[in-house]
Amino acid sequence: MADGIKDATSSNQMWGGRFASGPDAIMEEINASIGFDKKLYAQDIRGSIAHATMLAEKGIISHEDKDKIVAGLNTILSEIKSGEFEFSRKLEDIHMNIEARLATLIGPAAGRLHTARSRNDQVALDFRLWVKEELVKCEKMLTDLVGAFLDRAEEHAETVMPGFTHLQAAQPVTFGHHCMAYVEMFGRDRARVRHAIDHLDESPIGAAALAGTPYPIDRHMTAKALGFREPTRNSIDTVSDRDFALEFLSVAAICAVHLSRLAEEIVIWSTPQFGFVRLSDAFSTGSSIMPQKKNPDAAELVRAKTGRINGSLVALLTIMKGLPLAYSKDMQEDKEQVFDAAENLELAIAAMTGMIRDMEIRVDRMRAAAGAGFSTATDLADWLVREVGLPFREAHHVTGRVVALAESKSCGLADLSLEELQAIDPNITDKVFDVLSVDASVASRQSFGGTAPAEVKKQIAWWRARN
């Protein structure tokens, strides 16, 4: 019996004298977070060093104790990095695991580290630091992806291809222009990342459990030491806020959707039916039974990752939606969602950057498809407006009759004779043939942001200066 009491007490040291017995196996299983929050070890140690340093500077603890604490924390950091540190589920989380080890290393001085803070503001700090570092990493990865698209756009500013609406050939565009559409998308994603960094750039430490602390701490000092712009301004909001995690997941989900749309196009373009691109062996796999197959598995997996990332956002929104202020244990479920989304977003961006950089662009297949589906029909309608003076709706009707004629003859618009065109509208002249080729169509789209090669090159230059 005595041994049983001793075991229960030893498993319950972090709760002090409030509880007479320790949690049973089920409670331990549901309560422990060390299996995933150990990922925050570097941030936890960094935050504790900044906190201890501030406490010593303000005379709340002695410099001697501070030096012991910092030395002990650095020893723990080395132990974790080398794999020597033993994590314990009985100690619940990364914070108590580090604090318990610190007590073993330096004795009573370890107990002074938790002065003027709580696990509530401690975990908020660790998690903010981790998310901020992840956002900085994503910003760089998106810059690399945008750079890959700029390279391909520059290379193919004049390569014609079909533009699509409803996945039906619509009007000719250039592949460079198509690439620049993704530059815009991922450029906005990067801007969202930067906004998210700005929004979370406040230090939580010092908010304590929820009401602040009576100790004469300097929160601006710890904020500066930890690289934050300033401390948070409301202690209740500080410990109950997970907006920064939600914003990260929102940014990740939008970016993942963009990656998925790109992945879908790569899957389609790499089919024999399209044949617009050929993926390298590095991002393809074969079939176990069909030797001719070359499957775009990397693109398909990027497409699938979107489901996981979107699911993480929905999960955390649901976790947070009914929580009263301030802290609730529900928030322990925030980290796994963010960790999983971050890991999969990084992998998806890296895979897509690799695919874009080394895939082969099949210019001949793109050009052959660019004129299919009467893609220059709008150019004919515009010509009738400009040169003949028809109202656009009437020009649209005339063009429809021309398309019907070409379709009945199984030929392109440019293959119809002048006599056939004039039978539909006698005002048509031989100058119309200047606009019916895909090259002429593309070159004419010189409006700002249009597909004309000259305009595409202007947009590439604009982005080069900002990437």
As annotated, the active-site residues are: 166, 287
The token pair that represents 42 in the structure block: 């570097």
- For the purposes of burial, counting CB atoms within 10 Å of the CB of 219, is it exposed (0-12), middle (13-18) or buried (19 or more)? buried
Closest CA to 160 of 450, 441, 370, 452: 370
Sign for the pseudo-dihedral over CA of 387, 388, 393, 398: negative
**In 10 A of CB 135, how many CB atoms?**
23
First to last CA, the chain: 68
Q: Which residues contact 138 (CB under 8 A, 6 or more apart)?
A: 193, 251, 252, 255, 342, 345, 346, 349
Q: Is 46 left (phi over 0), alpha (psi -120 to 50) or beta?
A: alpha
Give dist(CA 26, CA 31) in Å, integer: 8
The token pair that represents 149 in the structure block: 């698209």
Per the document, the length of the chain is 467
Residue with tokens 């230090």: 203
Cis, peptide link before residue 245, omega less than 30° from 0: no
Give dist(CA 110, CA 102) in Å, integer: 6
Amino acid at 273: Q
Q: Which residues contact 184 (CB under 8 A, 6 or more apart)?
A: none
Give dist(CA 365, CA 368) in Å, integer: 5
